[in-house]
Structure 1
Amino acid sequence: MSNNIQEINEVQLPFQGGGGLVGSSVKVFAPATVANVVCGFDVLGFAVNEPGDEVIMRVTDKPGIVISKITGDDGRLPLDPTKNTVSVSVQHYLDSIGRGDIGLDIELHKKMPIGSGLGSSSASTVAGLFAIKTLMGDTTDPATLLPFAMKGEEMACGHGHADNVAPALMGGFVLIRSYEPLDVVRLPHPKDLWCAIVFPDVDVPTREARQIIRNKIAMKDAVTQWGNIAGLVSGLFMQDIDLIGRSMQDVLVEPVRSMLIPDFYKMREIAMSSGAVSFGISGSGPSVFAFTKDEETARSITQKLQAHLTGIKIGSNAYVSTINDAGPRVI
């Protein structure tokens, strides 16, 4: 699947709906995502089954969007609809189809940690966009919502990248072939590929994590990275988990970002010696993830990593999942 989508200010959705609401309320779940996938900085990502966020959206008589409730955020997210990624993205969508006059009440229920490196903001945004798309009876491909979701990412972290929102919207494993114009490709993957995720309870803000990345790189490092990205994509198409594993090496971003994650290389050693085929940082961190060939190995790795973190007095959350091919869903 490939989608060429114009910039947000120019986009005219190929809206397929009657123009009227087909329901009065809806509840939607959108999944967490793992961006970069070690070697694919800003161009690769995949969705997982858990965790994720939920949005309840209700139609009201008064025009405009109201955020009536947010839970699970410890008071960190704004109720102001002009400053929340969910409402801002939904408003852009409504304006694009000429229905900016609709009244909506939104509840956002955070079921995943903020600042985890698991696409927290993108899960919220995608849940909101999929909710309004559902209420409008819009039957177009969810990928058409990408420009609006990217606007939410720009508000959340200062950069409108798609490696979280694209897999959250489309499900599965995705490649961002180009940003100008936006061209997103859904990739195949082995069905027996499992992901073990551990989120250490430390703070690694996305904006700061991006600022420490080098602006200039050596040609030798670039060639190594190109080979790894090509190897990873080839492994996905060939259903070759071993090729996927040995291609997931990052010589550009991980050496810098790993310094922000306590005992990163020790955790890698634990994971790889316990049967992982690969190990790396999820997004900007601090979450880390490993690919395995079965669920049992994935669960064993999360337990060992959490035990290590406990030993150095750091709490953590863990998740085990296959790759989520469904994306957002009505619940």
Structure 2
Amino acid sequence: MNSVKAFAPATVANVSCGFDIFGFAIQEPGDTVELYKRDEPGIVITDITGDEGRLPRQAEKNSVTVVMLALLKHLGISDLGCEVVLRKNMPLGSGMGSSAASAVAGVVAMNELLGNPLSRKELLPFAMEGERIASGSAHADNVGPSLLGGFVVIRSYNPLDIFTIPVPDDLCCTLVHPDIEINTKDARFILRNEVSLKNTIAQMGNVAGLVAGLMKADYDLISRSMVDVIIEPVRAILIPEFKNVKQAAISNGALGCSISGAGPSMFALSRGIENAKNAGKAMQERFASAGIDSAVHVSGINQGGAVVL
């Protein structure tokens, strides 16, 4: 095999009450990576589209190639030569798992080029290194679902313990990206280091309720549990019209609505595609009333994750 092409989907992380422990993938958008073998050893980025020239072209500084270098080092391969083309199909700093999609597409493509020596789950720690380069934290709530698909729970980071849970077939996501940008590092910086016992207990109850609601297809329980008393109140101030957009989603059929990742994208979960579309239209109209353009993506939960094309 002399070339390979892989796609990794956008993701919603945190999922309301599940800060750094919940995430799920959607069908699209996503990033595409193309690899081409070359005679001279080394990983070289030859082209990046969709980033407006903002991403580094050095292999050791870009999420898409850092993961490849880590994988090759782990496998003891030092003589491989490869050209890399990255197609960015979502905005940077969007809260849609942009850096995660690049990292996942990159590591899946390289693993395929090498004949798949590692399983998908074994690739996860390498994909996480792409997040470390992008945001300073090797979190898995974006790369996990982008790599594996489905609704992902990260039970522990040390040791890494990640698994997926079943969700209702007709559960749909509305993802709305307003035309503003929030830096993930900045969004993490404003978070409090200490949380009250009262809020911790409330958050734990909502986390348990959301997991149970998803697994039992109990939509009322899902709706009641999509409450974040710790992270959302702090980060919401970074998103203009947040409260009004959230209310617009819920008033138009959504089970709940919150911030996707670090923002500024917002997501809603709904029962059925029509409710998801109605929620998206209402959310977009609310942003527009404040003079903010936005893009809407409506999707079921992506159960497959990244794919080789």
The TM-score, its normalising length taken from structure 2, stands at 0.98
Work out the CA distance in 1 between the residues paired with 2:252 and 2:117: 45
What letter corresponds to residue 119 of structure 1 in structure 2? G
Work out the CA distance in 1 between the residues paired with 2:117 and 2:151: 22
2:217 paired residue number: 239
Determine if the alignment matches structure 1 residue 58 to structure 2 residue 3. no
Work out the CA distance in 1 between the residues paired with 2:78 and 2:10: 29
Determine if the alignment matches structure 1 residue 103 to structure 2 residue 78. no
Structure 1 residue runs of 4 or more that deviate by more than 2 Å after TM superposition: none
Determine if the alignment matches structure 1 residue 328 to structure 2 residue 306. yes
1:314 paired residue number: 292
Q: Deviation of residue 101 (structure 1)?
A: 1.7
Q: Deviation of residue 141 (structure 1)?
A: 2.4
Alignment of 1:188-267 (within 5 A): 188-267=166-245
Q: Deviation of residue 315 (structure 1)?
A: 1.1
Work out the CA distance in 2 between the residues paired with 1:310 and 1:140: 46
2:123 paired residue number: 145
Partner SS for 1:259: helix
Work out the CA distance in 2 between the residues paired with 1:297 and 1:100: 52
2:25 paired residue number: 47
Q: Deviation of residue 294 (structure 1)?
A: 1.1
Partner SS for 1:66: strand
Work out the CA distance in 2 between the residues paired with 1:309 and 1:269: 12
Deviation readout 1:80-114 (Å, 9 max, x if unpaired):
11111111110110111111320010000001111
Work out the CA distance in 1 between the residues paired with 2:278 and 2:296: 11
Q: Deviation of residue 302 (structure 1)?
A: 1.3
Partner SS for 1:123: helix
The question of whether the paired residues in 1 share the 8 Å contact of 2:246 and 2:283 is answered with no
Alignment of 1:76-155 (within 5 A): 76-138=54-116, 140-155=118-133
Q: Deviation of residue 287 (structure 1)?
A: 0.3
Work out the CA distance in 2 between the residues paired with 1:268 and 1:155: 32
Work out the CA distance in 1 between the residues paired with 2:297 and 2:117: 32
1:176 aligned to 144, 154, 163, which one?
A: 154
Determine if the alignment matches structure 1 residue 68 to structure 2 residue 42. no
Work out the CA distance in 2 between the residues paired with 1:303 and 1:267: 10
Deviation readout 1:209-259 (Å, 9 max, x if unpaired):
001111111101000000000111111221222211211100000000000
Q: Deviation of residue 139 (structure 1)?
A: 5.5
Deviation readout 1:262-306 (Å, 9 max, x if unpaired):
110101111111010010000000000111111111112212211
What letter corresponds to residue 60 of structure 2 in structure 1? T
The question of whether the paired residues in 1 share the 8 Å contact of 2:11 and 2:25 is answered with yes
* Farther off after superposition, 269-278 or 237-246: 237-246
Partner SS for 2:254: coil
1:166 paired residue number: 144
Partner SS for 2:60: coil
Identity in percent: 50
What letter corresponds to residue 128 of structure 2 in structure 1? M
What letter corresponds to residue 286 of structure 1 in structure 2? P
| Consecutive unaligned residues in structure 1, runs of 5 or more | 1-22
What letter corresponds to residue 282 of structure 2 in structure 1? K
Partner SS for 2:175: strand
Partner SS for 2:302: coil
Partner SS for 1:41: coil
The TM-score, its normalising length taken from structure 1, stands at 0.92
What letter corresponds to residue 238 of structure 1 in structure 2? K
The question of whether the paired residues in 2 share the 8 Å contact of 1:36 and 1:42 is answered with yes
Partner SS for 1:277: strand
Structure 1 vs Structure 2 CA RMSD: 0.9
The question of whether the paired residues in 2 share the 8 Å contact of 1:173 and 1:323 is answered with yes
Work out the CA distance in 2 between the residues paired with 1:241 and 1:329: 30
The question of whether the paired residues in 1 share the 8 Å contact of 2:276 and 2:298 is answered with yes
Deviation readout 1:53-104 (Å, 9 max, x if unpaired):
0001111111000000000001110111111111111011011111132001
